[in-house]
Amino acid sequence: MKYSMFKIISYARDLQIGEPIFIDDDKGGKHGIVREIVSVKWADCDRVEIRGIATLITKEEYKKELEKMYNEKN
């Protein structure tokens, strides 16, 4: 399995381990599953910067994980 470090700045303060994530980069981005959250700190008055490690997955696996997560929440 391949892993990637990620850094996102988001309004979502509740990023969970196991959640699908899109990792934006200069090469068009990657899809992954959050495996570890390394740090969380305030980016500005209402957003946070989250750094972590994700397992890289294919676009099809990403779509399945998003659908699974959506169905679990509803």
Instruction: Give which of 1, 12, 16, 2 is closest to 52, Cα–Cα.
Output: 16
Range of the domain at 43: 3-73
Segment 35-62, tens digit of pLDDT: 999 998 988 888 889 999 999 999 999 9
Q: What pLDDT does 38 receive?
A: 93
Segment 1-39, tens digit of pLDDT: 899 898 888 876 678 899 999 988 778 889 999 999 999
Task: Count up the domains in the chain and report the number.
Answer: 1
Q: How many residues does this entry show for the chain?
A: 74
| Phi then psi dihedrals of residue 11, to 5 deg | -80, -20
Centroid of chain to Cα 27: 17
Q: What pLDDT does 13 receive?
A: 65
